Each structure stands twice: as structure tokens, then as C-alpha cells.
Structure 1
Amino acid sequence: MDYDNLKDKKKLMGERLAFLLKEHNIKNKELAKILNVSESYISAWKNGHRLIPTLYIHKISEYFGVPVSYLMGEDIENHWQKIGKKIAKARKLKNMQYIDLAKKTGIAPIRLSQIERGIIKAKAEELEKIAEELNLTVDELTIDFESCIEEIKKLCVKIGVSDESIEAIIQQIKFDIEMY
């Protein structure tokens, strides 16, 4: 990642963190206590002076109930649309109508319809119920494996891995995902 991209990434991550803090009416001091870091770290992250370490990205993601990809720069609406499509596809593969899935999960049919269309985001407990009924994991619904694979390919090319090795790595990842 070149300097300008790193600078842009820090700025974007900081903006997303600042938005979440404001949206949830949480002060830097409160988040610092939750994450067990100094308040100055939160300020540096929020102001785009420092990149948020991966460990804290995951903790922030869990705390605010947003995908890691949102903190990394992906548009959250796009993320929830992808999740909704996965839910709808998995439901259809089970020959299940959305009204049946709604009944089994206890989610109001109109809400489930909106979740499937990516209009609203599902709550964590809703995702757990949906995943359970569809015999999936929450990760299978929420992680965009194809995007992850594309990022791995880009990284491999950047560090000079041969095309044959990249293909072998990708095949192994796909195999591991299927086994998971």
C-alpha cells in the first residue's frame, strides 16, 4: 500500500469510527475504557493519524454491531444487500418461502423481506436464527468470501507469487471454506 492509500485508509477508518461514536453517543473516554487503550489512541484513530490495528477493528465491529468491512471502507448498504441476497438464495435452495422462514425464526415477515432486500440490517440475534434455520453459520452469511479471495490474489501478485502458486492457494482456501 503506498503512502497516499495508507493516508486515505486511516482517514476513512477514522471517519467511520467518529460516525459510530457520534451515532451511539459514546465519548472517546468510554470506548478507550471498553477497548482497554488510552484515550489518545481513540483520538489518533478517529482523526486519521493512526491506522486502527486489526484486533481493535474486530472489537469495535462487535461493539457497534457493524461489519469489519464497514470499518475498512466498504459501503455498509452494499454489505447488507449482499447478506440479504445470501439469505434469499439459501432460503430458495431449501425450497422455503420467506413467510415460512419468518415463522420459524419468529421474525416479522415484512422485516425478513426487508432484510433479504438489504433495506434494513439484521440484528445479531436475527442472523443467528436465520443461519440456524438455513443450516449455515453466521459467518457464511456475513463474510464475503469472494472479496476476500480477490484481496488475497492482489496481495499475492503484489509480493510476486507465481500464477500457479496463487491458483493453488485459492483452490486450498476454497476447499477449506467448503469443509468449514
Structure 2
Amino acid sequence: MVGERLAGIRSDHDDTQGELAEQLNVSVSTVRSWEHNHSAPSNEILVQICKMYGVSADYLLGLADYDPDYTRRLHQAKFTDSERRELKKYEQYLLWKRKH
């Protein structure tokens, strides 16, 4: 489960196995081994991965099927800066409207 999730998250960020390996100071074959579920990263490495990609450990470990914060960030990354500002204004408007 960790391997599949890790490969997906890495791919979401357009990182290669080599880039991830370099960032974590491990070999490419180690990352490949994790992604093929032949071995698993240490707890310390898991924490690094979660922080690096902004994903919950529960999602990465397969304890949760969905990470709403991670999914939201992925969707927002597809918008331009201008569109993100517009979304923020709209969000503020909806919150204001709810109060009145």
C-alpha cells in the first residue's frame, strides 16, 4: 500500500524516483524497492515524505482512503495565481453571506 501511494504522490508532484532519492538521501534502487513494496521506508523517512509532499501519514500508510487537505492542494495547484485570488474572494463572500 505504501509503495502505490508513494508512487502516486511522487508522480503528482512530477518528481522522478531519482529526484525523490536525492531529496531523501537514499539510492534510486531504495525508492524503487519501496514503490514495488519490496521494502518500506523507516518511520523517519515516512515523516520526511509526509512533510515534503504535504500528505498525511494515514493516507500514505493506507489507513485512510482520502486526504482532503492533500487533494485540495492538488486541485488548487492547477489554478493560476489570479484564479486562486478569485477563489479566495469567493470563499470570503460565501462565509460573509452565511453570517447575514
TM-score, reference length from structure 2:
0.65
Runs of 5+ consecutive residues of structure 2 not aligned to the other structure: 70-88, 96-100
| Distance in structure 1 (CA, Å) of the matches to 2:41 and 2:94 | 34
Q: Which residue of 1 aligns with 2:49?
A: 60
Give the equivalent residue in structure 2 for 1:75: 64
> Once superposed, what is the RMSD of the aligned Cα atoms?
2.6
Are positions 1:49 and 2:38 aligned together?
yes
Q: Distance in 2 between matches of 1:26 and 1:67?
A: 18
> Matched residues in 2 for 1:111 and 1:45: separation?
43
Letter matched to residue 11 of structure 2: K
What is the CA distance between 1:111 and its match in structure 2?
Answer: 8.5
Q: CA deviation at 1:17?
A: 0.5
Match of 2:29, SS state, is helix
Greater relative CO, 1 or 2 (CA 8 Å, sep 6+): 2
| 3-state secondary structure, aligned to 1:45 | helix
Q: Does 1:109 align with 2:83?
A: no
The one of 9, 14, 25 equivalent to 1:36 is 25
> Which residue type is aligned with residue 16 of structure 1?
R
Query: 3-state SS of the aligned residue for 2:39?
Result: coil
- Report the Cα distance in structure 2 between the residues aligned to 1:111 and 1:41, rounded to whole angstroms: 47
What's the counterpart of residue 175 of structure 1?
none
Deviation of 1:80 after TM superposition, in Å, equals: 3.7
Partner of residue 24, structure 1: 13
Partners of 2:93 and 2:47 in 1: CA distance = 31
Matches of 2:94 and 2:45 in 1, distance apart? 31
Q: 1:76 to 1:65 in 2, by over 3 A?
A: farther
Pairing of 1:1-180 with structure 2 (within 5 A): 12-77=1-66, 79-80=67-68, 108-109=91-92
TM-score, normalization: structure 1? 0.38
Closer, same or farther: CA 110–46 of 1 in aligned 2, 3 Å: farther
What is the count of residue pairs matched by the alignment?
76
Question: Residue type of the partner of 2:45?
Answer: Y
